[in-house]
Structure 1
Amino acid sequence: MEQTNHYFYVLECSDGSYYAGYTVDINQRLKKHNNGTGAKYTRGRAPVKLLYSEEFATKSDALKMEISFKRLKRKEKEQYIYRTSNEER
């Protein structure tokens, strides 16, 4: 059985807003967002750029992270991205 990677990711839209999502293929999903075939939220806010991604063992864990992230205030989102990105280095 093939193992699938599950990702939580954060995009920065052209208007400076953040979009958080889930995918199994980050590159393909980023292309969809920038082509206008991704999420409705990002269609009018392209181009978008990938700010952050995190890999999870299960879809459930990645979706839980997405939900938790979306509940944060903007400053907390920025702190999470900065802190977690620096921990990985």
Structure 2
Amino acid sequence: MTQKAWYLYILECAGGRLYTGITVDVEARYKAHACGRGAKFTRSYPPSRILLVQTYPDRSQASKAEHAVKKLSPNDKRKLIRD
């Protein structure tokens, strides 16, 4: 059985805030966030666009990457997006 790829994504939200998450379907997850069915954070600060998507072979690696990105400052996250 082929494993589905997992994705780390960063959204730009209201007020220029950034939201980081993981999923197997970025577009569906973005729509959920935009409709208020995503995370509590994105219900308060609706997303305006997807800034970054990175692919990982499994949930474990995507989760580790998410944890590392969430430790970054907003400026460092923006540098990651630019690179």
- Partner of residue 5, structure 1: 5
Cα distance in 2, alignment partners of residues 3 and 65 from structure 1: 18
TM-score by length of 2: 0.94
TM-score by length of 1: 0.88
- Partner of residue 70, structure 2: 70
- Partner of residue 54, structure 1: 54
When the two chains are superposed, the root-mean-square deviation of aligned CA atoms in Å is 1.0
- Greater relative CO (CA pairs within 8 A, separation 6+): 2
| Number of equivalenced pairs | 83
Gaps of 5+ in 1: 84-89
Cα distance in 1, alignment partners of residues 64 and 26 from structure 2: 18
Structure 1 runs of 4+ aligned residues shifted over 6 Å read none
**C-alpha deviation, 1:48, in angstroms:** 2.8
Cα distance in 2, alignment partners of residues 33 and 60 from structure 1: 22
- AA matched with 1:72: L
